[in-house]
Structure formats: C-alpha cells, structure tokens
Amino acid sequence: MNYPRQWMLGCIFLVAVDPLAAAPPDSGLEKALIKPSPTVGEASALAERIDQLLASKWQEAQVEPSDLTDDAEFMRRIYLDVAGRIPTVSEARAFLAANGQDKRPKLIEKLLASPAYANHFTNVWGELLIPEARAANRLRFLEPGFDAWLRKHFSDNTRYDQTVRELIAAELFDKSKPGASPYSRVGRTSPISFYLAKELKPENLAAATARIFMGVKLECAQCHDHPHAKWTRQQFWETAAFFACFEGQNANGFVNNAKEVPERHEIVMPGGARVVQAAFLDGGKPDWKNRISPRVALAEWLTRPENPYFARATVNRLWGHFFGNAIVEPIDDLIGENKPSHPELLEELARQFAAHDFDFKYLVRAITLSRAYQLSSRSKSADPPDVRLFARMAIKGLSPEQLFDSLVQATGYREDKSDPNRVFDPISARQEFLTKFAQADKRTEAQTSILQALALMNGRFVHSATTPEVGETLAAVLDAPFFDTAGRIETLYLATLSRKPRSEEAEKLIKFVNKAKTREESRTALADVFWALLNSSEFNLNH
C-alpha cells in the first residue's frame, strides 16, 4: 500500500476527475432551466435579454450551445465566483438534496447576502485598485484600512457610482492636524491607500483612473499620442491635471511632507513649459467659477449615467469576472480597434446598470441567472466553438485567494487569528500561497508553474492537511463511526470537488482502499485519495 502519491494521482485521477470528461447522462439537466422567483426582481428580465442576444449570435454563427450544468457543477461555480470558495460538505449535501426549480436563484440570493460575497469582491476589487500593495510586502500595510472600506461598501451594497465618487474625491488629509502625514490615516477605514499606492503622482492616478473606471489605457499617451487610439498626449495630461493638487517629496515609493492645494487644476507637461488645464476625455471642462475641487469635478463627471465610459467599462469587467472572457478584450482597453464580441449586449448591460442606479448586486444577479452563465464547459462538438461566443463556459484557473480559501474549506485548516499581523507574515500559509500563485496572465490562459505544482504536492500546508494525525477534515472522516469506505470516499469528494463520485470512480477507489490489510494502511490509503483530489485539475480549476 505504500504507493507514491504522484503515481496514484496519475493512475487513478487524471481521467477520473478531469472536468472535461464526458458527464453521465442526466435526465434532470433540462429541468434546470430557471423560473426566477419573485425575490430576484427585475434582474430576471435582464437575464432573459442576455440569453436572447447571445442566442441570436449562436444562430448566426451556426453553433450549438452546451447543455446546462448539473446541480453540482453549478453549485461549485457559483460559490467560487460569488463567494470565492468551494461549498462546505453540509452546504453541498443540502443543495444537491433540495428540490424545486427555484433552488438555483435561492442559492444566488443566499450567497449575495453572505459575508463571503463581500470578502470575495473585496479581494477582487482590491487587487484591481491597489495591485501595488498586493505585489510588494513593504506596501501591505496599505491593505487593511482599504479592504475594510471596500468590504463595507460591498456589504452595504452601496451603489457603485457612489463608491467610485467617494474614492476619487476622498478626504486624504486630517484637517484638524495641519501638516500631518497622510500615512497617519492609513489604518482607518478609508480609500486613502489608492492614492498612496500611486505615490500621489498625477500621472499614476490618471492612468489608473482611466483604465479601471473608463476602460481606457490612457498611459499609452503619456509620452506621445496613442499609437492605436484617438487619445493624445495632451489629453493624458489634461486628465492628470485633476490630480495635480498634491505637493510632496517622493522617496523610495513613499510621500513625505505631502499637502493638497485644492484650487489647483493645471499641470506642466514634461519636457517643456506647456501648461494644460484639467479637462474631461469627452472634451468638456469643469466650471471652475463654482470653485469646485478638481477631484470632485472628475468624480461627478465620471459617474454620470450618461457618461459614455463608466457603465460600459464596469459591466465589461464584471462579465469577464464571471465568464473568464470579457465582451471587449483586453478587458481594460475599450478602444475602437478592440471590437465588442456582442455590441448590443454590452450596450444593454451598460444601459440597465445605469438605469438601476449602478446596483452591483442587480448586475451580478442578472448575469448568474442567465442560461448562458449556467452552460457546461463541455462542448457538444469535437470542434468547440470560440469561447467568446459564450456558447459554453470557459475553464478558469483559480485566483490565489480562491485557491487558498478553497483549500482551507476543504481541509478544515484555520489560520491563527490571535496575532493581527500573522496574515502578513511572509512564511504564513496564506502569504505563501498568495505569493507563489500570483498570476500575471488571464485566468483562462494561466499556466501552473513547477513551483506551484510542488507547493500543492509537497508543500507544508497540503502535507499537514493530508496527514491523518493533523488534518481536521481527514481526521473527522477517518474517525466517523457511521461511515463505511464508500461513505468516507463520498465525503472526501464532496469536501473537495463538491460532487459525489461517479460509479466507476467509487468502484475503483473502494477497491483500492479495501486492499489495505491493516487499519493503518486503510487510513493511509484514504489520505492518499484526499491528497490526489486536492491535486486534481478538477479541484484547481473553475469550470
């Protein structure tokens, strides 16, 4: 029974748990078509419109969409996309046992109301807004206050336009303490870290604001006119002029002696003495006679419902989150040359998002209620259609946070929370994963490195979790007196893959475990099953 675990992974699970393997026939699949419950409100109407617009494209391209997912695959997908983790064994059993055509909408509502939703989107949007702090250990002190601010807005379902206005027009300096460093406010629940991560530099703030909230890579016009789009160098610096109100000395990435001059709304372009005034990308200019702050003026213009950039950039980004591919790719470069795969769909989503007061949850509901979101990743044809037709779900790699939190959920591991600085310890289990599994590629194209594979196979975290004397989930399954071998294997599957084993998998694994001649060999065999499941492609992908 002392087979190497790598041998077992290859011989038993590479085919058995491959997410692209053919699914067994399930007469209940067609019954999974959603009849939205009244609780989802107008989001169901937008979901239907999404499906209509996509269906017309499928007909035009003569492609057949995939079947709907079964309940287990949908459950795992929605947990990862909305809550950032896989379900618990009890959550999985309850959902799989539930009846009724409204079980999926009910699960969506349950997850949107959970703290896990706010935590997950805090991770996603935090990485988007302050990637500098996520990437450099020396800047991680910027995260707690900023994450707390984001989490509160997601928890309260603050309208997205209001959140962005608060970010752009943030109060950065303590007026009661003139001359106080802005870093003194970092620990508070505040968006100030967005500015400090960009070193209060107008060019950094202009580039990030345009890319994130307008879908415009304006930084390509910082030194010369944009090579592929209409943006000019002057327009870049006109946008930067909205952030020219800061003064201070930058040293090693930190700002000293900073202060704000709110009436300043002009900037000197580098390489000459040319001074430009702050102006919007649509050519408009604020009415400075009203003595409005430049950042407030930018925030108000940016978040207007009629703004041609804000809503489109947001819905495109959120669609990319759920489908792995955005309607316009690259996701943050909505220039004329990057044509939308579905122009009418992009405009409809943007229009409805603005019409519903930029309600973030409304948009999440509509996307996840759609039939398109609930399609399987398995194609019906030998030649799968382009994933940008959205006739099948793209297979996505897990983000570092999703992977770690899913491993925590599956194994029962709990990080020591007694020390608030523990999460930032470079040798902590969480930071080890966030560092090793940092991704530069799109999640649909991410490649697993050798170091990442070794971390999952032999790292201290997975090793201890799959050791019977240490791992909480494994110990609970092994020691449960009411489980036979089949029950233990089923529970390990639910804990990791969020489904029950298929008949051929169960038969093979029961036979493998029952070969054990002693109780200790049996426990070791079940530990090897658990290890192989955690290292399978099915566990490490969102499909």
Q: What does the DSSP assignment read for 361-407?
A: HHHHHHHHHSTTTTB-SS-SSSSPPPGGG-SSPPPEEPPHHHHHHHH
pTM > 0.85: yes
Average pLDDT over residues 406-411: 91
Residues 43 and 126 in one domain: yes
- Provide DSSP, 212-232: HHH---GGGGSSSS-SSSS--
Mean pLDDT of 339-358: 96
What's the mean pLDDT in 518-537? 92
Q: Indicate the pLDDT class of residue 392, thresholds 50, 70 and 90.
A: very high
Q: Return the pLDDT at 416.
A: 55
Q: Let me know whether 149 and 228 are in one domain.
A: no
Residue (of 394, 396, 413) closest to 471 by Cα position? 413
| Region of poorest pLDDT, from 1-5, 201-205, 211-215 | 1-5
Domain total of the chain: 3
Closest by CA to 262, choosing from 170, 183, 176, is 170
Whether residues 331 and 457 fall in one domain = no
Using 50, 70 and 90 to split pLDDT, how confident is the model at 41?
confident
**Burial grade of 388 (CB within 10 A; 0-12, 13-18, 19 or more):** middle
Q: Return the pLDDT at 76.
A: 98
Place 263 in a pLDDT band, splitting at 50, 70 and 90. confident
212, part of any domain:
yes
Which tops the pLDDT comparison, 381 or 433? 381
Residue 434 tokens read as 């966030």
SS3 (DSSP) at 250: strand
Same domain, 368 and 420: no
Residue 25 lies in a domain: no
**Statement to judge: residues 424 and 505 lie in one domain:** yes
In this predicted structure, what is the pLDDT of residue 23?
Answer: 38
Task: Tell me: pLDDT of 488 over 90.
Answer: yes
| Same domain, residue pair 239 and 115 | no
Would residue 510 count as lying in a domain? Answer: yes
* Domain end call among 386, 403, 424: 386
Asked if residue 167 belongs to a domain, the reply is: no
Q: What is the pLDDT of residue 39?
A: 43
Q: Is the pLDDT of residue 224 over 80?
A: no
Question: Crossing angle, helix 429-436 and helix 400-411, to 10 degrees?
Answer: 140
pLDDT the model gives residue 24:
39
What is the rounded distance in angstroms from the CA atom of residue 23 to the CA atom of residue 499?
12
84 shares a domain with 150: yes
Residue 42 and residue 109 in one domain: yes
Of 331, 357, 386, which one is at a domain's C-terminal end? 386
395 has a pLDDT exceeding 90? yes
Question: Is 175 a member of any domain?
Answer: no
Nearest-Å Rg of the Cα atoms of the chain is 25
Answer whether residue 61 is part of any domain.
yes
Q: Is there a single domain that holds both residue 541 and residue 500?
A: yes
At 443 the pLDDT is: 53
Q: Decide: 533 and 492 in contact? Cβ < 8 Å.
A: yes
Residues 437 and 505 reside in one and the same domain: yes
Helical segments of 130-201, H only? 131-135, 143-156, 160-168, 192-197
> Whole-angstrom Cα distance, residue 516 to residue 522?
5
Which of 126-135, 215-224, 307-316, 480-489 is least confident? 215-224
| Residue 140: other Cβ atoms inside 10 A | 16
| pLDDT (0 to 100) of residue 20 | 37
Average the pLDDT over 362-374 and give the result.
97
Looking at the structure, tell me whether residues 382 and 399 fall in a common domain. no
pLDDT of residue 45: 95
Q: 366 pLDDT band (50/70/90 cuts)?
A: very high
Instruction: Identify the domain boundary among 386, 409, 435.
Output: 386
What is the arithmetic mean of pLDDT over 59-63? 95
pLDDT at residue number 426 = 44
Please state the rounded mean pLDDT for residues 210-222: 91
pLDDT of residue 9: 47
**What domain range is 276 assigned to?**
180-283
For the chain, the average pLDDT equals: 85
Same domain, 272 and 313: no
Residue 311 is assigned to a structural domain of this protein:
yes
- Better-scored residue on pLDDT, 387 or 459: 387
Provide the token pair at 534.
């955690």
* pLDDT (0 to 100) of residue 260: 82
Give residue 277's pLDDT. 94
Question: CA-CA distance, 45 to 38, in Å (whole number)?
Answer: 11
